[in-house]
């Protein structure tokens, strides 16, 4: 069944179990920090140093984190299926678990990009981006993340992937962030669909099998169900 396609949309919930907080939770990383100051183009123009400091701290937390059982279960599914992960997360935990096809809708915290030419990307070899760190064009480097008010450049590619799913999983996301949440509208009607979240209140589609549990618990269960199709 390696030709059957498992597509997985992951959100902050899967990373939270590796110790990375979410900005929507009461105890989240972004608590007390106005999003307008650290996650918008306006915030960057007003105080670039504050934005860099904020993401430097987030990057250090990502480096310390390790993939959990959910990340590992998704990687192991590649032994049986073609697996594509569309993630709203900016961490690299899917890659470190070994997943080979990961599309980051909202960017990657372990990369920097030019403020003059967004196509110029740089994989970071240090924990920090600081004022004065410049690309070869001479412009200041910024985090390679999609801020509020910016376009999501990989959305068309994500839609194409979702539309090719034989099996579709939604893991650890509230489905409140758009345009990412709209991806479920592009999944084929005959795909077998799963929704895994401890508080699955954001889904009104009855075609999904709902597992009201954590990613590290629910994803291995669903992975086991899909592997049983090989029997």
Is the separation of the CB atoms in 9 and 104 below 8 Å? no
Q: Is the peptide bond before 66 cis (omega within 30 degrees of 0)?
A: no
The residue whose two tokens read 């569309």 is: 86
Average pLDDT, the chain: 91
> pLDDT tens digit string along 134-172?
999 999 999 999 998 999 999 999 999 999 999 999 999
Domains and CATH numbers, the chain: 1-20+67-106+152-231 (3.40.50.1220), 23-64+110-145 (3.30.1600.10)
Q: Are strands 102-104 and 82-87 parallel, antiparallel or unpaired?
A: parallel
Question: Is residue 31 very low, low, confident or very high in pLDDT (cuts 50, 70, 90)?
Answer: low
Section 79-97 average pLDDT? 97
Phi-psi region of 19 (alpha: psi -120 to 50; beta: other; left: phi over 0): left
How high is the pLDDT of residue 58? 92
180/185 Cα distance (integer angstroms): 10
How high is the pLDDT of residue 161? 98
- The active-site residue out of 5, 106, 144, 186 is 106
Encoding tokens for residue 153? 């450049």
> pLDDT tens digit string along 182-193?
899 999 999 999
Section 71-89 average pLDDT? 97
Question: Is residue 23 very low, low, confident or very high in pLDDT (cuts 50, 70, 90)?
Answer: low
Determine whether 106 is an active site residue: yes
Encoding tokens for residue 48? 């670039």
Encoding tokens for residue 203? 């889904």
Whole-Å CA distances, 157 to 111, 120, 149: 20, 19, 20
Residue 107: exposed, middle, or buried by beta-carbon count in 10 A (0-12, 13-18, 19+)?
A: buried
27/73 Cα distance (integer angstroms): 27
> pLDDT tens digit string along 200-222?
776 767 889 999 999 999 999 99
């Amino acid at each position: 069944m390696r030709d059957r396609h498992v597509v997985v949309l992951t959100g902050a919930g899967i990373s939270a179990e590796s110790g990375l907080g979410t900005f929507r939770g009461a105890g989240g990383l972004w608590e007390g920090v106005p999003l307008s100051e650290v996650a918008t183009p306006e915030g960057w123009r007003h105080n670039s140093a504050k934005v860099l400091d904020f993401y430097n701290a987030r990057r250090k937390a990502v480096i310390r984190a390790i993939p959990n059982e959910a990340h590992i279960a998704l990687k192991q599914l590649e032994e049986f299926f073609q697996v594509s992960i569309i993630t709203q997360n900016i961490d690299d935990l899917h890659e470190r678990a070994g997943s080979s096809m990961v599309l980051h809708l909202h960017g990657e915290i372990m990369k920097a990009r030019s403020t003059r030419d967004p196509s110029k990307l740089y994989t970071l070899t240090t924990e920090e981006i600081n004022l004065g760190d410049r690309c070869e064009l001479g412009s200041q480097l910024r985090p390679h993340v999609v801020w509020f008010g910016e376009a999501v450049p990989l959305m068309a590619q994500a839609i194409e992937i979702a539309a090719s799913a034989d099996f579709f999983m939604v893991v650890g996301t509230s489905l409140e962030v758009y345009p990412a949440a709209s991806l479920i509208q592009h999944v084929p009607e005959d795909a077998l669909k799963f929704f895994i979240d401890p508080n699955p209140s954001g889904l009104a589609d009855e075609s999904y099998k709902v597992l009201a549990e954590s990613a590290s618990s629910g994803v291995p269960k669903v992975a086991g169900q899909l592997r049983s199709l090989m029997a």
